[in-house]
Amino acid sequence: MKRFLLLTIIPLMSCSTSVDHRIFGTWKTNSKFYAATYKIEKNSKKIIGKLLYYNDGTTVLHETKSDKDVFIKDLQYENEAFVDAISGATQTTSKKYQIKIKHTDTLEVTTYVRNKPSIETWTRKQQ
């Protein structure tokens, strides 16, 4: 009986994927073109990204505390990076965001505009 339990439990434990919790928190962009603050959090069983603040000199957006703030709807961990399987910005299932943890307080965020990558650095906002 013990052997049966071991043969059943070990494969199940090895199949579980762990989430790197360093992704969670509030992040600021380091862009010379705009200022933005985002929050990555777990909502139910999904990892989502929310817009808290955005200002590009012509458009200013603030958090509305509604579903309108969610711009990343389902981050999934694949190949040492987080990817958004369903982006809130478009009605497509293609992956639009790739986020790599470079350091506890630094993310490398790649977005795709017309299939060309745009890479940004986000830093953790200290509370």
* 40-70 pLDDT, tens digit each: 999 988 999 999 999 999 999 999 999 999 9
Burial (CB < 10 A; 0-12, 13-18, 19+), residue 87, is buried
Distance, CA of 23 to CA of 99 (rounded, Å): 9
Q: Give residue 19's pLDDT band: very low, low, confident or very high (50, 70, 90).
A: confident
Q: Give residue 17's pLDDT band: very low, low, confident or very high (50, 70, 90).
A: low
pLDDT at 5 over 80: no
CATH topology of domain 22-124: Lipocalin (2.40.128)
